[in-house]
Amino acid sequence: MNRRHNGPGRRMTHSSNGRIVVIGAGLTAISHLTIEALSHVRHCDVVYHYGPDTSHAFLRRHNRNVIDVHALLEEEKLRRYSYVQMAELALEDARAGARVGFVFQGHPALLNFAVARMVERAEIEEISVTLVPGVSSADALIADFKLNVDEIGCQIVKAHALLTRRLTVLLEAHVIVLMGGGLGDPTGATNLAAGDTKPRLLFRRLVDWYGPDHEAFLYWGRVAPTDIAKALRISLASAASDPRIDRLPPHWTLYVPPKMQPPQLIEEFEALGLLRYAKSNQPHDRTVSGYGQLDLEAIEGLPERRSALRERQPDTSDANLKINIRAAEDPGFIEQASWLSIDRNNFENAEFNQIYIGDDVDLFCE
């Protein structure tokens, strides 16, 4: 039985041998499904699906018992009720001993109340639950905009949180705002009523931080393989005042470029022994072509290494490759292969567990 951190005051009950696998299908239907995701779909007794119809049809090729849950999303019904019902579907089947899959579009742990509810209840009842990651709209945006988040980082935040909590926006970083199109709509409806100004409240708040002339981008990623990604350049002031913003397709993600370039802390680079790298990234150290001294030195040594690239062969045996392919395609293989020398309980026994997820440690202190 898995040992879990449950926080103070939680009562544990004991479940059957059922389990839940929450699967991220990615943003783009079919294209973003991974080998791991499909392997779980194939090995589940029942799979619930919340996403595009194309994904549903494709998943049924891998498991005939795939059930669409859109019928739970009744008109004028609070979306929170629907999410509680989704979670309970999986929990009820797992309590009965079934291996339950639940496929969600995007990343299952990113702003998904149904999954949060499912995980919370599963931990209380000691039902095994696994989350399989998927490509989110933020991931797709970073790729489509070709953002380099290495130097200044990236802040990802929910629009509702920007308005209702005292959050600090990192003006020096790339900022991605999720779920702005449905602000203030408790039913989660796919289209906002004409004249609803709630999305504009977000842009008014952003104007306070960035100024009225700062530009941002509304982004719609590829939901189907046949789609193309779309982006609309806006000024924050125009979005804050223009009623047309309410009539746009609501499933947009907002990208706000940095307002300023953060200065390098040269003394910290020096303390880390990386002063040379800091100086190589200074604008005045770069030539007109964009190559600094460190870049030129690296390129100079490239011909010698290029010939060695083809000499490098994968350092793994055929047997090891077959085992790993089998494990990727069959999530139950590792559990059944007792002859494999794999400590699957390393989090149970390691010192890491004692420090971070011990019974007397609350990771989410209020």
pLDDT of the residue at 343: 47
pLDDT of the residue at 315: 75
pLDDT of the residue at 347: 39
pLDDT of the residue at 286: 47
CATH topology of domain 138-256: 3.30.950
pLDDT tens, the chain, 366 aa long: 343 333 333 334 444 679 999 999 999 999 999 999 999 999 999 999 999 999 999 999 999 999 999 888 877 778 888 899 999 999 999 999 999 999 999 999 998 989 999 999 999 999 999 999 999 999 999 999 999 998 889 999 999 888 888 888 999 999 999 998 878 765 554 444 444 448 888 999 999 999 999 999 999 999 999 888 999 999 999 999 988 887 888 889 999 999 998 877 888 877 888 776 665 555 444 444 667 777 777 778 778 777 776 676 677 778 777 877 877 778 777 666 655 544 444 434 344 333 333 344 343 333
Kindly report the CATH number that applies to the domain delimited by 19-135: 3.40.1010.10
Q: pTM of the predicted model, to two decimals? A: 0.77
Token pair for residue 352?
């890491």
pLDDT of the residue at 78: 81
CB atoms within 10 A of CB 248: 16
- Measure CA of the first residue to CA of the last residue in the chain; give whole Å: 29
Q: What are phi and psi of 5, to 5 degrees?
A: -85, 125
Residue (of 24, 29, 68) closest to 50 by Cα position: 68
Integer angstrom CA distances of residue 31 from 24, 40, 220, 237, 245: 12, 17, 16, 37, 30
122, 128 contact by CB (below 8 A): yes
pLDDT of the residue at 12: 42
Report the alpha-carbon distance of residue 217 to residue 232 in Å, rounded: 5
pLDDT of the residue at 280: 56
Domain with CATH 3.40.1010.10 in the chain: 19-135
Domain with CATH 3.30.950.10 in the chain: 138-256
132, 24 contact by CB (below 8 A): yes
